[in-house]
Structure 1
Amino acid sequence: MKLLLILFVVLFVFLHQSFWIHASIEPLPGPLVFSPLISPVSTSMAAFSPGIQMGSEDPHHHHMDAHHKLLIALIIACSALCLIILALLCLWLYHLKYSFKSSNKNAKSKDSENGVVLSSFLGKFTSVRMVSKKGSAISFIEYKLLEKATDSFHESNILGEGGFGCVYKAKLDDNLHVAVKKLDCATQDAGREFENEVDLLSNIHHPNVVCLLGYSAHDDTRFIVYELMENRSLDIQLHGPSHGSALTWHMRMKIALDTARGLEYLHEHCNPAVIHRDLKSSNILLDSKFNAKLSDFGLAITDGSQNKNNLKLSGTLGYVAPEYLLDGMVGKFLI
């Protein structure tokens, strides 16, 4: 921006000097003639004589004068055009810089909001204790607290239903609302998915990935506590009672971009890379402002952590990559 301003000043000074140089060298209206003293009578006679013309202009000089005026007009027009182009370029660069800063601020504000939710959740309840699981600090919540918050897991609090259980809306102290996934882990697959999701989400922190608040256990039942997503899932918005009427074209594009940002983080910035393996509209959750966040990491794997030859095919038909379905190939294209 400073370089453009310097160029703008230099160009203005150059054009200003050029204008005054051309104006200063412009010849006088008539030629200078040094003649001897002429009497008034001879002058008057010459003025009325048809064969003598006083002060006649040179045609070549008139042509040069018009050429200079045209040159000055062209210089002024070009300078005005350059000024307009420079002004538009400055505005465009300023807009790019401002939009980049605003996007960074929005991302940081989303991260800070998630941090506030998590810290307030951990600091308000004495029944929460921290345990270490594979080097990560995870919140363990007493079962009785979740049972009270969901009204004994009443049907009226059901937000959605998955393959191994339901997701309930829970109201904790101080009107803190969360989502509780209840999993029946009597089978080995359900228990494996529970442990896998808790382990992965405890190490993932991104504005477009659902925030894990804690977990609990009671007999063969396991519970995962998330931040509450007020507008539920994209699947419900598209195929529920509203049939997508609440989603404008701008909101749909934003949901797609949020989903892509979440996947980019999992594939490019997580070490090792995380592959979701079950990305579909029911696993894309929407908060109160329709910000999209990825959820349900029970089938997710970390790239390179498993033997690809013995990798079990998992996911929902119609949503997995054809290379993975046919050949079992795992790569960054697999979501």
Structure 2
Amino acid sequence: MRALVFTGPGVVEMWDVPEPEPGPGDVLVHVVASGICGSELHGVKTPGFRVPPLVMGHEFAGRTEDGAPVIVNPILSCGHCDLCALGTRNVCRQRRIIGVHTPGGFAERVAVPAGALTPLPEGLGWTAAGIVEPAANAVHAWALAGAPAGARVGVIGAGAIGLACLQVALSGGAASVEIADRSDSRRAIAGRLGAAAAVPQLTGEYDVVFDAVGAAATHEQSLARLRPGGAAVWLGLADSTAGFDAADLVRGEKRVLGSFAYRDDDFAAAVDLVGGWDLSWVDTFPLAEGAEIFTTLMNGRATPVKALLTP
């Protein structure tokens, strides 16, 4: 079986790997679409908890052995702790993630627990199916912010997560959404998707700011552009440095909310949402070209905004 494998710092390669062996309760999924995530680009360039050799890929959809189309929720939790009981499997202390801790979707086939599968609704295409996972992150972030209809929203970063935040906020009734990115092409896409303004850096004052980058500078910007009493939701993982003015946080009674992945209801909501989105910013490539596409994105190429690999 062919798979794209993280083999060492800064290196991914196409390998022939053994066929997956489903364990008790597992289902074999023939992958149709698997998205490259920015966290994977960062994780390969600066290795941490992803241990090579590893078949990554946590954003994927495919068909089961009997041909049923499915979307995979990659979060694996213990299912019985206090956090799981609260419905917050995403922060289970024992959580694992398919494509991070177990082999993932950058392959022709992958074995996953049956409970991780969501049926692909009739009429929902494979491109949309491949975007459900990042869309669920944006749904969760919007919910954490309070889903504030009528809010002035700022988004830092017009990658896949930032564009998903833009579309979720608009569908949730935001009064306006402005988005910041250094890339001219990504700003143009954001404008086409409905951003009230697409600029190199946010300059307004907002009720909610989503930081989809996660660098120290964007942490600082998210708080600086936030109105007193507003909420900054951090989704990005580029840098562990906080970088913000704590005194301003206190005096302005501002809130910083960490947003990791999604709850099961967020994932279900994303399945319902993505079918109505403009996904012209998503590009599809054969898995055989995965090493080249992954490496060029990892080294800073701004396009494609979102790449889906298809075995």
TM-score bin, normalised by smaller chain: under 0.3
Larger helix proportion, structure 1 or 2? Answer: 1
Larger strand proportion, structure 1 or 2? Answer: 2
> Greater Rg, structure 1 or structure 2?
1
Q: TM-score, normalised by structure 2?
A: 0.23
Q: TM-score, normalised by structure 1?
A: 0.22
